[in-house]
Amino acid sequence: MQNALMGILLQCNKVITRCSGKIAGQYYSTGVAKPELTSIRYKTQRGPYATVMDADVCFFESLLGSRLITDPHECESYNIDFAKTVRGASKLVLKPTSTEEVSAILKYCNKRRLAVCPQSGNTGLVGGSNPVFDEIVISLKLMNKILDTNELAGILTCEAGCVLQDLDNHLATVDLMMPLDLGAKGSCLIGGCVSTNAGGLRLLRYGNLHGNILGIEAVKANGDIVDALNALKKNNTGYHLKHMFIGSEGTLGIVTKVAIQCPSLPKIKNVAFLGLASFDKVLKTYCLAKHHLSEILSSCEMMDRLSIDVSINNLGMNNPLTSRKDGHEFYMIIETSGSHLNIWALRERISEGVLREGYVFKYDMSLPFSSFYEIIEVLRKQIRDPRIIRISGYGHLGDGNLHIQVSIPEYYEDVAAQLEPFIFEYVSKCQGSISAEHGIGFKKTKYLHLSRSSSEIQMMYDLKQMMDPNGILNPYKVLKPIVEKST
């Protein structure tokens, strides 16, 4: 088996050239009717925030000029997530171009107690980047400057609104690359990646953003600018404040600039696409690859047959192994220090392809290898609702991250009740985490206790109260809203 695997990796270019498809990240409208208002579907009560008045709009016009949106039709794309699962009712979108403008916006909103929803590329999957009620959307898309590229040190400094794919393309010109790669790389912004501590396809080799982000500039709820943009690789002086903002999902501050450690662009690029009969063989293949490829193993992905079918049947892509007589229930992509766009598109476009079937319940879990795929099999046995099109699973096997997709023609509340909280409780029972990389957002706030202890959650509330006492930053996300204390 060892020789077979090594042979596949060495000869992989003969296979991958047969796989075709566009690169993921170019999301489009699925044609599905706009979703029900989030506040109604999830029976959420509005917090004690002020309502935007004409005088507020006048202030923001004086600050931003024409860089704001009040037209209801234009606001809609900011209110609805790309998967069309949540919908807010914001009537105002602000588009700053500098940290100073973000600071002025938050200072004003904090004084007026106007809730805000920071938004990057709007590619999130847990409702974290969309308003729940009428929060003011602060879009960072215009803050898209690359500020510095230190080729010798391998450090990139840029604004939060830079598109991940654009950063990768820029770095490739100096033989560097971003330490993370996502299916939504053509649309997601680096600020959102940092705010959610996004993982992605390169985490196995390069680690998560807590290790790759060297410095951050962020704006607190009261408008104060936190300059922690020091790009030194070693700076062991005092508290590491950058970690407060990485993964905080815009609830403690708005990230405006980042300094990122970027690895060298690999010179050798090998990708193998494997078909296997069982998940047990998937695990054995991973162990073999990890042992024999060790430091050159950069990614190891697993997809079940139903997940691959989404890319093939819904997007018209090709499976390079379909000519084989033996059926494959599982597939793997093993990458050694490089990538091939076409073969990776099969995996990256699963999230896009599944949207063509209607509505999808998506779950992002961390699980031990001993029970990694078990939950998919349990769901298929336990939930036999005829309205369900498919229950499929795929993910980053190398770091124990499984993505679950349950496809149905449209949202049904009773189907949601069959899935939740069952899935989250099952993952907790398996000593897993209810969020591996997508974050808690809005959809998982009431399940946070399944992955965090009561003392951890209390400390999160204490930190939130200290950083944002009025609770204006991305309310209803990560933590349940802080109830205003009577004085």
Region 18-38 average pLDDT: 52
**Per-residue confidence at 348, pLDDT binned at 50, 70, 90?**
confident
Compute the CA torsion angle 90, 92, 95, 101 (nearest 10 deg). -110
Please say if the pLDDT value at position 340 is more than 70.
no
Query: Contact, 190 vs 162, CB < 8 A?
Result: yes
Region 377-391 average pLDDT: 95
Largest CA distance in the chain: 74
Residue-range domain boundaries for the chain: 38-139, 146-261, 267-430
For residue 19, which phi and psi values (nearest 5 degrees)? -95, 130
Query: Contact, 265 vs 337, CB < 8 A?
Result: no
DSSP string, 57-117: HHHHHHHHTT-EE--HHHHHHHHB-TTS--B-----EE---SHHHHHHHHHHHHHHT--EE
Region 403-417 average pLDDT: 94
Please name the amino acid found at residue 226.
V
> 146-261 maps to which CATH number?
3.30.465.10
Please name the amino acid found at residue 209.
L
CATH of 267-430, one of 3.10.20.30, 3.40.462.10, 3.40.50.1820, 3.40.50.360: 3.40.462.10
Q: What is the pLDDT of residues 252-299, one digit of tens each?
A: 999 999 999 999 998 777 888 999 999 999 999 999 998 888 777 888
pLDDT at 26: 31
Q: What is the pLDDT of residues 203-224, one digit of tens each?
A: 888 999 999 999 999 999 999 9
For residue 138, which phi and psi values (nearest 5 degrees)? -105, 100
For residue 198, which phi and psi values (nearest 5 degrees)? -60, 140
pLDDT at 321: 83
Whether 267-430 and 38-139 are alike in CATH topology: the answer is no
- Helix-helix angle 279-293:2-10, to 10 degrees: 70
Region 91-111 average pLDDT: 99
E strand or H helix at 33, and its extent?
A: none
3-state secondary structure of 484: coil
Contacts of 10 (CB under 8 A, 6+ apart): 270
pTM for the full model? 0.87
Cβ neighbours, 10 Å, residue 129: 33
- The per-residue pLDDT of the chain, averaged, comes to 89
Please say if the pLDDT value at position 199 is more than 60.
yes
pLDDT at 326: 57
3-state secondary structure of 145: coil
CATH of 38-139, one of 3.90.740.10, 3.40.50.1980, 3.30.43.10, 3.40.50.300: 3.30.43.10
Cβ neighbours, 10 Å, residue 341: 15
